[in-house]
Amino acid sequence: MGKHFVPLVVVVLFLCLGSKVALAQILFQGFNWESWRKEGGWYNNLKTQVNDLAKAGVTHVWLPPPSHSVSPQGYMPGRLYDLNSSKYGTLPELKSLISAFHEKGIKCVADIVINHRCADKKDARGIYCLFVGGTTDGRLDWGPDMICRDDKQFSDGSGNPDTGYDFAAAPDIDHLNPRVQKELSDWLNWLKTDVGFDGGWRLDFAKGYSPDVAKLYVKNTAPDFVVAEIWNSLSYGADGKPNSNQDSERQELVNWVQAAGGPATAFDFTTKGILQAAVQGELWRLRDGNGKPPGMMGWWPERAVTFVENHDTGSTQKMWPFPSDKVMQGYAYILTHPGIPTIFYDHMIDWGLKQQISALSSIRTRNSINPLSKLRILVADADLYVAAIDEKIMVKLGGRTDLGSLIPSNFKVSACGDGYAVWEKKL
């Protein structure tokens, strides 16, 4: 599909502006769906893991939504400036956690939920549509005119049309309204300068508003990293298995990132879906018809944020779970390949995989593997996948043990486990 083409000038600009650290990003998701329940507060708990995350080469940590929320997980926000009512901890505890990460050179990414918002009060119609910002000066204190007109359950009909998908559970905010744009931009900049979120934004439910809207907030807040949740599934055949060609699915991700512009990236749901099918005896899926990776990573790796699991797909929700006995194969893939890899809290901490995952991330860091690293796929059969990255490391997935002469004699095993192995070139 020629449509996916990214102009060379974009890649050149990325190379010119990006430092080595930026190119070698490793993102860590620092929470799961149940983290709000942690006795003693989640922020305080996560603080105990900072040293180990730094040793693992993590460059950015994605923290949960920080504001007051009707739902304990933070994804039904209300009083946006009220960071003391979060179930994860208080504002001082959050600042202390962020400071601890900063001391180790790790940047903090805020989970930004701005598609929708929950109101504190009812209007004369008896509808919850009067919003409270959490300050004494009226910032983010809105009425029904700040809601998209086609959100008929909450709106008074005076707002602009929604620019994206509807979110039925709460009012969809009118992002074409100049006041909304200014006050949300001010709030984001407050999170950045006063609270300490120097790592940028994770945009929740980014399908809920247009990429042009995202572009505006990125322009107004100048983050150095932005990753959007554009959750799209795969296309499936009559047998219930993913089709071998997922170009239309990854095209959707590329389209959004190109339209949003700037530093925008997207979670590579296409790679996740293909990878979790591939590790179940179908590793041939990991090479497309052009000999490249089959997800967004294969088309635009420097804008593809790869992951094995997150708080929605896994954790206690399990909406699209990775095979639990193949998780380390997933990490062996994303931590050796181009793209910006993400490590999930559950796997690193709760599952006891810290040592194995850290070994892989250390190999990535040690060999300067980055989103623009050169990938050469040697084998992609049902039971064996072998690839070389920058001709510095090699990775093998699958149960086949007879590799013949695929691995040169000047490479040594640096990490291995059930169904995977990684070699480094001998110095």
Q: Which residues contact 318 (CB under 8 A, 6 or more apart)?
A: none
**What Cα–Cα distance (Å) separates residue 183 from each residue in 137, 186, 190, 195, 411?**
12, 5, 10, 17, 55
Instruction: Name the active-site residue from 151, 229, 247, 288.
Output: 229
Gyration radius of the chain over CA positions? 22
229 is catalytic: yes
34 is catalytic: no
Instruction: Name the active-site residue from 204, 247, 302, 309.
Output: 204
Q: Are strands 60-63 and 27-29 parallel, antiparallel or unpaired?
A: parallel
> CA torsion 193→194→197→201, rounded to 10°?
-70
Three state DSSP letters for the chain: CHHHCCCHHHHHHHHHHCCHHHHCCCEEECCCCCHHHCCCCHHHHHHCCHHHHHHCCCCEEEECCCCCECCCCCCCECCCCCCCCCCCCCHHHHHHHHHHHHHCCCEEEEEECCCECCCCEECCCCCEEECCCCCCCCCCCCCHHHECCCCCCCCCCCCCCCCCCCCCCCCEECCCCHHHHHHHHHHHHHHHHHHCCCCEEEECCHHHCCHHHHHHHHHHHCCCCEEECCCCCCCECCCCCECCCCHHHHHHHHHHHHHHCCCEEEECHHHHHHHHHHCCCCHHHHCCCCCCCCCHHHHCHHHEEEECCCCCCCCCCCCCCCCHHHHHHHHHHHCCCCCEEEEEHHHHHHCCCHHHHHHHHHHHHHCCCCCCCCEEEEEECCCCEEEEECCCEEEEECCCCCCCCCCCCCEEEEEEECCEEEEEECC
- The partner residues of 27 in beta bridges, in order of sequence, read 60, 342
Catalytic residue list: 204, 229
